[in-house]
Amino acid sequence: MDVKTGYVAGRLAFRGVLCRISGISTAAHCHAVKKHSCETVFKFSQRSLYQTSTPGQHRWFCHNSTPGQHRWFCHTATPSQHRWFCHTSTPGPHVCIVGSGPAGFYTAQHILKNHKTARVDIYEKLPVPFGLVRFGVAPDHPEVKNVINTFTNTASNERCSFLGNVTVGRDVTVAELRQAYDAVIMSYGADADKEFGIPGEDLSGVYSARAFVGWYNGLPQDKHLAPMLDTDTAVVLGQGNVALDVARILLTPLSILKITDITDHAAAALETSQVKTVYIVGRRGPLQTAFTIKELREMTKLPDCRPLLDPADFAGLEDKVKSLQRPRKRLTELLIKTAQTGGATAQEAQRLAQATKEWGLKFLRSPLEILSSEDGSRVSGIRLGVNQLEGSDSSARAVPTGETEVLSCGLVLRSIGYKSEPIDDTVPFDSQKGVIPNEAGRVTGCKGLYCSGWVRRGPTGVILTTMTDGFETGKAVVDDLTTGILQPVGGVRGQEWIQPLLQKKGIQAVTFEDWNKIDSEEMMRGEKVGKPREKILDVKEMLQVAQS
């Protein structure tokens, strides 16, 4: 394709970029890929060409990534002569999203749906997309991962691009992104762990739940974790859904796990695990737990595993249950039932009595110190402070009583939450709250800079919460573009401005088409061993597959 500015043969001159398509005389030379009512879509030079037939005239449209939309027209002046020209329409705004997890994709989805010319580029530090949906959702929860289909549809939008293997703050700065884009949205989540800051927290055998989840879910940075599973008792500190996830994975029979997308090395380690008992410890009481009924019900139904709940922990709660909101009411009722009867029928009770594994909830306990073995080589137990509650219901505070107790264990998993960290000095960040200061997704004091997801509101909630959050930030961007608060700047913009910077640094940006190659390879490997997929754990190998 020859792209020229100025005068085109045939005495047809237009302002803007003028193009001539060389060597193409008829539509027969193009390859049809899909149809839109009366229009036929063709592929030419990696661009979508639309042909609309009218008497004596053919018109070609090309949605070009830079510097906006190009339209190619073919006018049949005579049966043997074609005249080609290109008119460049006003380019739409360029929007950049940093992070390809649920927050990033939901924000992109809203913008693409509600602004008809906006282009969205999604940057991701890993070569693979989807964030915590890929690396955080438990392998035995495949139904939750179905949201990937929605994200794939978003990424397939002709106005959306994915650029993986690009670390914002290192490979490209936020200042450079703000030069290239009309709006920049920070949606990079929370990769760091919250810590207790107590003695012994750095002992061998003590891990964050985040790293443990990353280990069995194939997060490249956690592939070498090698948790010490040669112990009969594990303690999980925290009582949220992630805490129940890691407890469930420790206790679930391998026959169930091996047909999921759990990593091969994690399955091999769990096959030889000696863990038989898992205690899930929380600093407050049954009415303040953060897990939901779905995760609790799964724990009560674990094969070859029985619950260890003390009925005394639930004394006096029957009267309070009546006034609770429905989700908390149902959860508390299940807790009480499980404590009193094991949550089972008589037949199930007999089966549970023969179980070889067990799990328990310990309330009103705070970790004071993680104890080491005599030789100091690993954890041997944990000293807990006994608490009492001040206040009522969800707002009750845990207050130390001064009493302590020791719980023996050989494995400790800290599950008290994630935290976001700043990735660029030019972006405001509240280190106390672990979020970017914002108003409805608009970063405080930074016009054109936005945030969504955990880095906006903190690491809480489920995927549905993140969807609502992403839509709200997306709306803020669309509103600012529509009302003129943001004024799109013309010229070479978006990834076309960024790509040369990456190339100078030798950065291989991974496209969504490249990801599809990785995806296909993983599914092929999984099919060979009876799994949905076998995840590639090494970034270099991911890039090799992407280049193949």
Q: Does 103 belong to an annotated binding site?
A: yes
**CA distance readout (Å), 396 to 183, 365, 543:** 42, 14, 50
Cβ distance 345 to 398 under 8 Å? Answer: no
Q: Does 295 belong to an annotated binding site?
A: yes
Displacement of CA 228 from its chain's centroid (Å): 27
Cβ distance 135 to 216 under 8 Å? Answer: no
Cα 374 to Cα 203: distance, rounded to the nearest angstrom: 13
In one-letter notation, the amino acid at residue 340 is Q
Q: Which is it for the CA torsion 305, 310, 313, 317, positive or negative?
A: positive
Q: Which is it for the CA torsion 146, 147, 151, 154, positive or negative?
A: positive
Q: Does 283 belong to an annotated binding site?
A: yes
Q: Does 462 belong to an annotated binding site?
A: yes
In one-letter notation, the amino acid at residue 387 is N
In one-letter notation, the amino acid at residue 494 is G
Q: Does 84 belong to an annotated binding site?
A: no
Residue 525's contacts (CB-CB under 8 Å, 6 or more residues apart) are 533, 534
Q: Does 112 belong to an annotated binding site?
A: no
**DSSP track, 229-257:** --SSEEEEE--SHHHHHHHHHHHS-HHHH
Q: Does 454 belong to an annotated binding site?
A: yes
**CA distance readout (Å), 318 to 284, 293, 488:** 18, 17, 60
Q: Does 484 belong to an annotated binding site?
A: no
Number of other CB atoms surrounding residue 294 within 10 Å? 11
Q: Is 267 helix (H, G, I), strand (E, B) or coil?
A: helix
Q: Does 51 belong to an annotated binding site?
A: no
Cα 295 to Cα 157: distance, rounded to the nearest angstrom: 35
Cα 191 to Cα 218: distance, rounded to the nearest angstrom: 15
Write 367-372 long-range contacts (CB < 8 A, 24+): 367/196, 367/198, 367/237, 367/281, 368/198, 368/404, 369/198, 369/199, 369/200, 370/198, 370/199, 370/200, 370/201, 370/203, 370/206, 370/412, 371/200, 371/406, 372/200, 372/203
Residue 465's contacts (CB-CB under 8 Å, 6 or more residues apart) are none
Cβ distance 315 to 268 under 8 Å? Answer: no
Cβ distance 194 to 454 under 8 Å? Answer: no
Q: Does 101 belong to an annotated binding site?
A: no
The structure tokens listed for 11 are 């005495």
Q: Does 241 belong to an annotated binding site?
A: yes
Question: What strand order describes the sheet that includes 160-163?
Answer: 160-163, 119-123, 94-98, 183-186, 449-451, 442-443, 438-439
In one-letter notation, the amino acid at residue 411 is L
As annotated, the binding site for FAD includes 103, 124, 132, 168, 454, 461-463
As annotated, the binding site for NADP(+) includes 239-242, 283-284, 295, 461
As annotated, the binding site includes 103, 124, 132, 168, 239-242, 283-284, 295, 454, 461-463
